[in-house]
Amino acid sequence: MVGIGDIVKSEPVFPDSESVKSESLVGKELSIKAMSEREGDKGQFLIVLATVEGKEISFSCGGVAVVGKLRQVKDHFKLEADDSGVFTFPETVEVTFVERKSQGGRNYYDLE
């Protein structure tokens, strides 16, 4: 018998970074270096490489606001993905990771 993990290898997108949860970034300043677009069960999401408090981290985020803004950055720089699907920014993008409340009362993440 063969398990799916024996056939389909899941390599981390940014193996040299510490993977953190998005909620741990609220209120922090990030220097975003790169991103990778992925398809998940709930639609498209990003895996983002950034520096926060001097440490290189990666996190995933599927929120419309964050995904939309980082796609605008990608389009601004006219970036093409490398062979592994990573878009590397030519310079870091400085943002603050924030949590907002929609008019309907739902919390979501955004970048300032």
- Spatial separation of the C-alpha atoms in residues 35 and 32, rounded to whole Å: 8
| Cβ-based neighbour number of residue 85 at 10 Å | 12
Torsional class of 3: left (φ above 0), alpha (ψ -120 to 50), beta (otherwise)? beta
- Tens-place pLDDT, residues 56-76: 999 999 999 999 999 999 999
User: Is the distance from CB of 32 to CB of 92 less than 8 angstroms?
Assistant: yes
Residue 7 confidence (pLDDT): 56
What pTM was computed for the model? 0.87
Residue 106 confidence (pLDDT): 94
The yes-or-no verdict on residue 9 having pLDDT over 70 is no
Chain mean pLDDT for the chain: 91
- Tens-place pLDDT, residues 32-57: 999 999 988 888 899 999 999 999 99
The yes-or-no verdict on residue 95 having pLDDT over 60 is yes
Distances 95 to 30, 57, 61, 66, 69 between C-alpha atoms, Å? 5, 14, 15, 11, 11
